[in-house]
Amino acid sequence: MVEMKIQLKNVQILDPQSSWHLQQQDILVDNGVITAIGKLETAPDAIVINSSALSVSPGFIDLKADFCDPGFEHKETVSSGLDAASAGGYSRIYVQPNTQPVCDNKAVLTYIQSQGNNHTTAIGVNGALSKNLEGKALAEMYELFEHGARLFTDDTHSSNAGLVQRALLYTKDFGGRVALLSRNASLTDKAQVNEGMASTKTGLKADPHLSEIIEIERNIRLLAYTKGSMHLSGISTAEGLNLVRRAKQEGLDLTCDVHLMNLIFTEEDMLGFDTHKKVLPVLRTATDREVLWEGILDGTLDAIVSDHRPADTEEKELEFDLAAFGAPQLETVFSALLTQKPEALNHFLPLLHTGPRKILGIESNVIEIGHMAELTIFDTTLAYQPNMRPEQWRFSPFKNQELQGRILGVIRGAHATLAQH
């Protein structure tokens, strides 16, 4: 972390809300503020960032990461997680409430926030939907909202209809948003892989598309009934996305995201029993993956999330059906997306910055003179060999792969993490 004057030379500005969008200019950041944009003389006292194809966008925001702190610090801490987020280009990160104790009250929330002081990447917290994530009594959501929470979720735990209805009605009073992973627990008990090729060829228990579809249908009906605000996380099927698209067309206050893994891999990647790619939602068909990309292009999807979930040896180096779901993702999101669909850069970038801000209801820091700098700096032409922390890298789904595109730095106000320096 540094506090200084920074100059970006001949940088392509990728911010659709900026008057400088798609232009190549120099940007000077002084004490956290953009003080000049244009063809500038090199400031003698500035750190200069220059690269063959330098680009800058508003700072990335991740809506869904697990930092395991408090309670599971042997896997990750807030500090190490924020370091990973900065390396991945994120200026802000929002962590899940599945800590120990659960983040269902302000004491846990403020503890997590305090651990993020003085980092380049700011930390936010998604509050629990129910007390102790048990799906019974509602958590102290208004209290959590007053202290910064905007999304309320029980993470991967299934939420019954009564709880969701009460939460939607309650959060209407103060502007919170109920966030749900649409996966029917009774249809997915001990399920490991997608129903179809993966389940047939591996013999592992199947997770059917139906488990997502009927949950989305139920959740949309509850949303229409209550006229509340809902976020559906981890859309993984073509039919599920179509249900969301129709609900949005009907005017419901509904947002949604897709996990990185469902944009990159498919159920065929499960045939080798690779626990590094064992995630939730399970990897679906190639057709599902392509429809999800179409949802990025047509604006149905609002955000792309990492669903970063660190693991330890005891959770991952096991037989496939015993291994934990999840993988470390923060450092590789941008490069993995660019490698998969380089032609879609200008379509997926807004789902990493503007989309999450709209979901959270926070103002965008547009790249303009006089605005606070909240920037992600990258080069799309540089190859990236992921260099994660050794204890996490061995569980990465991108192990031993060379990806396209490299994050070169993050600036958030007077704080910066710069890969070149």
Q: Is the pLDDT of residue 392 over 80?
A: no
pLDDT (tens digit per residue) in 125-160: 999 999 999 999 999 999 999 999 999 999 999 899
pLDDT in tens, 6-39: 999 999 999 999 999 999 999 999 999 999 999 9
CATH annotation of 6-56+368-418: 2.30.40.10
How is 23-60 classified by DSSP, letter by letter? Answer: -EEEEEEETTEEEEEES-PPPTTSEEE--TTEEEEEPE
Q: How is residue 395 written in tokens?
A: 């569980």
Residue type, 370: G
The pLDDT value given to residue 1: 44
CA distance 231 to 256: 5
Q: What DSSP character marks residue 204?
A: P
Task: Tell me if 127 sits within 8 A of 149, measured CB to CB.
Answer: yes
- State pLDDT tens for residues 290-347: 999 999 999 999 999 999 999 888 888 899 999 999 999 999 999 999 999 999 999 9
Class of domain 59-360: alpha beta
**What pLDDT does residue 390 have?**
59
Mean pLDDT of 184-205: 96
Where, residue-wise, is CATH 2.30.40.10 in the chain?
6-56+368-418
Catalytic residue list contains 307: yes
pLDDT surpassing 80 at residue 123: yes
CATH 3.20.20.140 location in the chain? 59-360
196 has pLDDT over 90:
yes
pTM: 0.97
Q: Which of 83, 302, 307, 379 is catalytic?
A: 307
Q: What percent of the chain has pLDDT over 90?
A: 91
